[in-house]
Chain A
């Protein structure tokens, strides 16, 4: 039971209380916040792991094929691609609940961010919305493509990812949407993690400046790694770590 105040409110003040909070509102809002933040956190961490795994192409085709085959033989890749797609859509639905719907509101928010000389965190938020929308389109395409590759025999010899088909796809022109996706994803994820840390009180442990530095370091590291991976996939440079694999992997 919610206890009322002992003194009755004057009628002019009690206006807002004509619409009392429906019980369960707070519980639902907390759940929505946790689900949208939690899905974002999982997706960001997955992205980094994913980047390291795709990074196996840096050791050449054999390393990449071995990595893909291992993940598929142990049935890690198949459920992951489905779970990630569900989380991806869930995050898009939940996180978008904070985006102003009307153009006028968006313009005002942008004006506000610029007028605050400009206010960097506000601008970062606006760019997070923009990159999020790009990721929703290009990321969906990428995940569906890879789901088809992992789960169906549509590409290459039977189900599963192979270096040969991946390279062929990227070289046929997918390097362009992938380059855009890479920049947008890395930006969206690192800024999102930074904001998440601030929201739940990470700024008290590490200072906000430290968190910003950490965000920048992670952003540039994974952006750099992603760029090299993409260049190798596009055939622009040879795999730089090929020397690591000197014998056949069985």
Chain B
């Protein structure tokens, strides 16, 4: 597929506008038309619109290379990263909306931080160390395969696309969501974490945990980092089974 689409295509953007700071905030869709350029990403397109048409347009970008996770947005209904979505892959009409579920700051800008902080706090998603850190001791070795698996889970940039695509997260406010379950699994696998499966059981084997999942698989399919989310859930489900057996 040619990423440099033939020049001269006129793109129509329909962008969700809402400024809560305005005197009479009125959510609406606004149209912008711009000329497509070769290798144009949504990052470039939105900056062009802001620079040449409407300086009040709000959207988030930082790294432009799918690492910071701040440019998640609904692109024609599909949660995607603005920086790595090329207009050449999209039709002439492009509808941009903010990610659902998260708190809206304005226009396309959402606050994913609050959601992720609450998720991390409620599952205490950080290392609970076995002993006090001894800077003089040699590091404990970790199995290569395990380290690779942990790294795979750690590649999550918390952009929130999976949460926006999740049917369960839309309606169940306390559902940990795909990113949350991924994070829980990551700490369960980590040998440096002192909590054992039985400590985790009440966190992940609930309706807010993996059993709240409907199995729609959309999170796995749209994840911009292509994380193996389906394998994560299968791991958690099997862990629930073995932990319950051990507890009896």
Taking the nearest CB of chain A, how far is it from the CB of B179, in angstroms?
A: 16
B184 to A: closest C-beta gap in Å: 13
Take A13-B121, A200-B237 as given contacts and tell me if A195 and B174 are in contact as well, using a CB distance cutoff of 8 Å. Answer: no
Interface segment, one of A59-67, A107-115, A132-140, A171-179: A107-115
Determine chain B's interface SS by DSSP, over half rule.
helix
Q: Enumerate chain A residues within 8 angstroms of B167, measured Cβ to Cβ.
A: 109, 112-113, 122, 125
Which of A1-9, A71-79, A150-158, A215-223 participates in binding chain B?
A: A1-9
Contact check, A121 vs B214: say whether CB atoms are below 8 A apart. no
Contact A125 B214 (CB under 8 A): yes
* Cβ–Cβ < 8 Å partners of A203 in chain B: 230-231, 234
Q: Which of B201-238 contact A (CB under 8 A)?
A: 201-207, 209, 211, 213-218, 221-222, 230-231, 233-235, 237-238
Contact in complex: A29, B205 (CB < 8 Å): yes
Q: Are A200 and B238 in contact (CB under 8 A)?
A: yes
Q: How many whole Å from B156's CB to the nearest CB in chain A?
A: 19
Contact of B218 among A5, A16, A116 (CB under 8 A): A116
CA distance A33 to B128 in the complex (A): 30
Count contacts between A and B, CB distance < 8 Å. Answer: 126
Given A112-B165, A199-B233, check contact A16 B211 (CB 8 Å).
no
B171 at the interface (CB under 8 A from A): yes
Q: Is B118 an interface residue (CB 8 A)?
A: yes
Residue of A nearest to B166 (CB): A112
- Residue-wise interface mask of A (1-29) relative to B, using a CB-CB cutoff of 8 A (1 in contact, 0 not): 01101100100011111000101011101
Kindly list chain B residues whose C-beta atoms are within 8 Å of the C-beta of A32: 211
With both chains docked as a complex, state the minimum distance between the C-beta of B238 and any C-beta of chain A, in angstroms.
Answer: 6
Beta-carbon contacts of A86-128 to B below 8 Å, as 1s and 0s? 0000000000001010000100110111111101011001000
Minimal beta-carbon separation of A132 from chain B (angstroms) = 13
> Quick check: A121 and B78 within 8 Å, CB to CB?
no
By the criterion of a CB under 8 Å from any partner CB, how many residues of chain B are at the interface? 46
Partner pick for B194 among A3, A9, A112, CB 8 A cutoff: A3
CB closest residue in chain B, given A117: B78
Given contact pairs A27-B244, A29-B209, A198-B215, enumerate 18 new A-B contacts (beta carbons under 8 Å).
A13-B117, A25-B207, A27-B205, A112-B77, A113-B167, A116-B218, A117-B77, A117-B78, A119-B218, A121-B216, A121-B221, A122-B167, A199-B213, A199-B233, A199-B234, A201-B237, A204-B231, A204-B234
What are 27 of the A-B contact pairs (CB < 8 Å)? Answer: A2-B199, A3-B195, A13-B118, A21-B206, A26-B206, A27-B244, A29-B205, A30-B211, A30-B241, A30-B244, A33-B237, A109-B167, A109-B170, A112-B170, A113-B167, A115-B76, A115-B77, A116-B222, A119-B217, A121-B215, A121-B217, A122-B167, A122-B217, A198-B215, A199-B237, A200-B238, A202-B234
